[in-house]
Structure 1
Amino acid sequence: MFKLKDLKLGQKFTLLLVLIFLSGIVASGAALSSTLNYGAQVQVTTKALMLMETMNSVREYTNSEVKPELTARLATEFLPETVPSYSAREVFETFRSSPLYSDFFYKEATLNPTNPRDQADAFETRIIEGFRAQSNPKEVNGFRSTPSGELFYIARPIQIVEQSCLECHGLASAAPASLVDRYGSEHGFDWQMDEIVGAQVISVPASTVLSSARKSLLLILGIFVAVFAIAIFLVNIWLQRYVVRPLNRMAMVAEAVSTGDTDAEFTQSSKDEVGQLAQSFNRMRLSLQMAMQRLERYRSGRRSSGSSK
C-alpha cells in the first residue's frame, strides 16, 4: 500500500510539484478555454457582421437601382431579381463558393414570407418575437441545436422602413399581378411600416467556431506542460545536488560516528539551511568526541588508581 511517509524527500517534492502542476493546468485550462472560445466567437461574429452589412448593401442596391429599371415588366412578369431578399440570398451563395465562407449560411427568416423558403422556424420565430418586444432591438448571437448539429448564429431584425417594401407586401390587391400569380395572395402581405417582420440570420457550425479555439488551447497547454516538465526536471536536479546529496552524506557520517568513528567529518560550504545543519552536526560531533575523550580519561584514571592499591 502506498504511504507518503515511505517516499524519499526528492519523491515527495516531485509529487508536490506534480500536484501543483496538475491543479494549475486544470484551473488555467478552464479559464483559457473560456477566453479562447470568447475570442473565437468575436472573430466569427466580426466576419458575420461584415457579411450582413454586405447583404444589406446588396438589398439597398437592388431596391434603389435594379427594381426601378424593371418596374414596367413586373406588371406582366415576376422578376425575383428585383426582390432585395432574393438578391441578397443569391449573392451570399456566391460568397459561399469561397473556402473562407463555405461554412456560413444566410437566411432572411420571416414570419409571413412570400417565398416559403424564407419561413421562420420555431427557433427563429422566438428571435423575431424577442425583437418585436424591444423598443430598439439590436443583433443577438448564441448557439442553437439543429438536427445537423450545433450552430453559432448572429441575427438582426428586419424592419419595414421604406414605403417601397409595401408595394409588394402591403395589400395583396395592390401587389404586382405577376407576384400574386406566382405565390398567391395568402402569404407575404399586410406588412406595416416600422413593423419587424423577420430577422437576418447568419449561422456557422459550432465546430468551426470552437475548432480554432481548441487548437489554440492545445498549443498553449502543450507549451505549459513542456515548461512545467522542464521546471520539474531542473528543480529535481537542484534538489538532488544541494539538498538530497548533502543530507545523504550527513547521514553516512552520522552512521559512522554512531559506530565509534568520531573522526568522521562532514564538510558543507554553503550558507543556507543545509550548511547551517552541517555546522550544527559538526559541532555535535566535536562535542561527542570531547565527551568520549573525557570519558576515556576518566576510565583510565579509575584503572590507574585501582592498580596502585
Structure 2
Amino acid sequence: MGLKAKFNLVMLVALLIGLSIAAALSYRALHENAQREVLQEAAIITAAASAIRDYTSKEIEPLLTEQSKTRFLPHTVPSWAAQTNLRTLQRQFRDYTYKEAALNPTNPADRATDWETDIISAFKRDPSLKQFVSMRDSPVGPILSTSTPIRITDPACLTCHSTPAAAPPSMIDLYGSANGFGWQLNDVIGAQIVSVPTHVAFDRANEAFRISLLGLAIAFLVTILLLNLLLHFVIVKPVRRISTIAREVSLGNMSGAEVQVKGRDEIASLAESFNRMRRSLANAMKLLEGQ
C-alpha cells in the first residue's frame, strides 16, 4: 500500500469519525432547539389566552352587568372569550389549538376528551404541579401540548357553579341545569391546554441538520483533496524522483542528473544530502578505478 493510499485511508477514517460526532451533536442541538421553539409558541398562546381572560374579567364583564341580569351573555365569561378569540387564530393555523377542557363544564363543547381527562387527573393528583407537557400523534405528525390547571380560587365563581338554584336563571335557560355544577373551592375543575404541531419546527431542524452535515462533508472532502495535492507535489513526487535516481545509481549509472533541490524543507534537505552522497560515491568509484 502506497503512502497516498495509507494517508487517504487514515483521512477517510477521520472523516467518518468526525462526521459521526458532528452529526450526533448537531442533531441533538437542533432538535432541542426545535422543541424549545415549540414550547415558546405554546407559551405565547397561553399568555395571549390569559390576557384575554383578564381583559374580559376586568373590562368586559362590568360593562355588561345590567344586560346579564335579563339575558346571560357568554361574552362576560373569561374562558368563553379566550377560546372564541383564539379560534380565529385556528382558522389561519389549523393545527394550533387552545381549549379550556373541563370534567364537568357548563358548556358541553368544553368537555374533556380522554387524553385531556388524563391531564386534568394529573393536576388533581398533584396540587404542586403547575404545568404538564405531553406529546401525542396526529395525522399531521406529533403534537406537543402544554397544560396549566384551572383551579377555583375565587369564591365568586361558585355563584354560578355551586348549585343550579344559586346560578343565574338566564344561564340555566341557555345551558340547562345538568352541567357545570358541584364545583368546590380550590378544586381543579379543568385545564388550559395549548396544542402546537411539532412538524414545522422539526422539519426546519432536519433541513438545517442535512445542510450542516453536507457542508461539513464538503469541507472535509475539500480538505482531503488539498492535502492530497500537497502530499503529491511536496512529498510523493520528490521522493519518487529521488527513488528513481537512487535506483539508477544502484545499477551503476553515475552520469545521470542530480536531484533538483527546491525550497528549504525536509524534502529539500533529503535531496541535498542524497546529491552529496551520490557525488561522494562517484568520487570513490573514480578513485577505485584509478588504482
2:97–2:195: 8 Å Cα contact kept in structure 1?
yes
Aligned counterparts of 2:115 and 2:285: Cα–Cα separation in 1: 93
For residue 170 of structure 1, the aligned residue among 162, 178, 194 is 162
1:138–1:156: 8 Å Cα contact kept in structure 2?
yes
Unpaired runs of 5+ in structure 1? Answer: 302-309
Check if 1:191 corresponds to 2:191: no
For residue 22 of structure 2, the aligned residue among 19, 28, 41 is 28
C-alpha spacing 1:171/1:288, structure 2 compared with 1 (3 Å): farther
Unpaired runs of 5+ in structure 2? Answer: none
- Output aligned runs, 1:58-207, within 5 Å: 58-74=52-68, 77-97=71-91, 101=93, 103-146=95-138, 148-207=140-199
Q: How far 1:46 moved relative to its partner?
A: 2.3
C-alpha spacing 1:179/1:295, structure 2 compared with 1 (3 Å): farther
C-alpha spacing 1:122/1:254, structure 2 compared with 1 (3 Å): farther
Output the amino acid matched with 2:271.
A
What's the counterpart of residue 44 of structure 1?
Answer: 38
What's the counterpart of residue 268 of structure 1?
Answer: 261
1:140–1:154: 8 Å Cα contact kept in structure 2?
yes
Output the amino acid matched with 2:159.
E
Aligned counterparts of 1:143 and 1:284: Cα–Cα separation in 2: 77
Aligned counterparts of 1:142 and 1:220: Cα–Cα separation in 2: 30
Aligned counterparts of 2:104 and 2:280: Cα–Cα separation in 1: 102
Q: How far 1:207 moved relative to its partner?
A: 0.5
Count of aligned positions? 290
TM-score, normalised with respect to structure 1? 0.81
Aligned counterparts of 1:63 and 1:25: Cα–Cα separation in 2: 56
Q: For 1:61, what is the secondary structure of its paired residue? A: helix
Q: How far 1:55 moved relative to its partner?
A: 0.9
TM-score, normalised with respect to structure 2? 0.85
Q: For 2:64, what is the secondary structure of its paired residue? A: helix
Output the amino acid matched with 1:213.
A
1:143–1:206: 8 Å Cα contact kept in structure 2?
no
